[in-house]
Chain A
């Protein structure tokens, strides 16, 4: 079974750093894009960026370029989303999802269970 399991909920203060994870199993992790999606409280889905774990090729939405960093460690089949300095506006649920095979980013299926990030002083 193809599965993505995300790290647990986080509560952080503004200005702190954070790295959340997404571990893939049941498929060849290096052969499929992994995407990250933000959902702010009560709002819709926002496409943040994708990474190809095979060679760490990464693409960002213009809205998120420079705001977050997406990375992957193929040795442990895990993708990451990180912030160097959190803001209150980063409070949201973050989902990872499997995309398509190189070079095709594809649709997202399946999705991780989500990681809730709360940033509050």
Chain B
């Protein structure tokens, strides 16, 4: 089973700043089958990025994903007040089998 490690655990930034979140896999994630989700308190997670770099429908272009193999990054170019939340990466594989989530990164207001 692939283990995903997210860092940092918490990121303290101000609105307007750039956020860089890391997701490292214990083994190569095939064909960049990696997604990013945003979760706000009391809400279900929301898909932001799939295929490592493709934005989901309706996601602002300040969100971008990059990476391949074992190292992936979610970048928020300029933080808006509504972006302060917890972010999770997930690998989902090319064939049916266990997917896994990272432990999450909380982006909080400094």
- Residues of A at under 8 Å CB distance from B? 33, 35, 37, 44-47, 50, 52, 57, 59-62, 95, 97, 99-100, 103-114
The answer to whether residues A107 and B98 also contact, given A44-B88, A45-B45 and a CB cut-off of 8 A, is no
The answer to whether residues A45 and B44 also contact, given A62-B1, A108-B35 and a CB cut-off of 8 A, is no
CA distance A121 to B65 in the complex (A): 45
Q: Flag if B101 contacts A46 (CB, 8 Å).
A: yes
CB distance from B97 to the nearest CB of A (A): 6
Q: Flag if B98 contacts A62 (CB, 8 Å).
A: yes
Q: Flag if A35 contacts B99 (CB, 8 Å).
A: yes
Q: Flag if B90 contacts A107 (CB, 8 Å).
A: yes
Q: Flag if B90 contacts A105 (CB, 8 Å).
A: no
Q: Interface size (B, Cβ < 8 Å)? A: 26
CA distance A104 to B39 in the complex (A): 24
- Which chain B residues lie closer than 8 Å to A105 at the CB level? 92-93, 95-97, 99
Q: Flag if B88 contacts A59 (CB, 8 Å).
A: no
Residue of B nearest to A35 (CB): B99
CA distance A109 to B47 in the complex (A): 6
B62 close to chain A: CB less than 8 A: no
Q: Flag if A111 contacts B45 (CB, 8 Å).
A: yes
- Which chain B residues lie closer than 8 Å to A47 at the CB level? 90, 98-101
27 contacts between A and B (CB under 8 A): A35-B99, A44-B86, A45-B45, A45-B90, A45-B104, A47-B90, A47-B98, A47-B101, A52-B96, A59-B97, A62-B98, A103-B96, A105-B92, A105-B96, A105-B97, A106-B92, A107-B35, A107-B47, A107-B50, A108-B35, A108-B37, A108-B45, A108-B47, A108-B90, A109-B56, A111-B46, A114-B44
